[in-house]
Amino acid sequence: MDVKIEQSWKQELADEWNKDYFVALTDFVRREYASKQVFPPGSQIFAAFDAAPFSAVKVVILGQDPYHDVGQANGLCFSVNDGIPFPPSLQNIFREVHNDTGAPIPTSGDLSRWARQGVLLLNATLTVEAHRAGSHQNRGWERFTDEVVAHLAHNRDHLVFILWGSYAIRKGALIDRNRHLVLTSAHPSPLSAYRGFFGNHHFSTANDYLIKHGKTPIQW
């Protein structure tokens, strides 16, 4: 199967493309896009990979599934296009970045500026039907993104995995803590941010780890 994804990821994940689960997932996604309003736009399903090639990844931030309202999802978890109001979780992320690092609250919610520095902004599920949160879960995306995390954990060293909320934290089972830094906390959602997301200092901690291992820190 010819998957339209950045070349280094295409090679790294080559064993996945013709597995039964991925063929079934592809058929499902094609039917959904042909018959319903689905996000992100089809050309942006793999935008997180296109923006952060396999060898360039330094940090992985894991989301759940794309935003499901019109104009929001752009293929990068927690990110929205320019001109779109910041969803509550993104507002809280920027607040924590500011409190942790002193960086100003940005005017753009487009996190491609992080991705270009080696931050893989990965949703566990890469597509969603409009206005139906979680509608494409349990169709195969989770197995695919498990493989993404596993390949990074096994074939790279000294990465930072940032896992917010129980859904993301479960993927931590795939990661060797002796080779990588795994940071976990409550989710930035307003429902949980005050239970441990605020004050987690994940952004400065990630940069300290990158510097320790000879990597350029992220300009959050």
Catalytic positions, written as ranges: 65
The token duo for 108 is: 């753009």
Handedness of CA 120, 126, 128, 130 (dihedral sign): positive
* Residue 184 phi, psi (nearest 5): -130, 150
Contact 30, 93 (CB under 8 A): no
Give residue 4's Cα distance to chain centre: 18
DSSP 87-125: PHHHHHHHHHHHHHH-PPPPS---THHHHTTTEEEEESS
CA distance 131 to 145: 23
Residue 153: strand, helix, or coil: helix
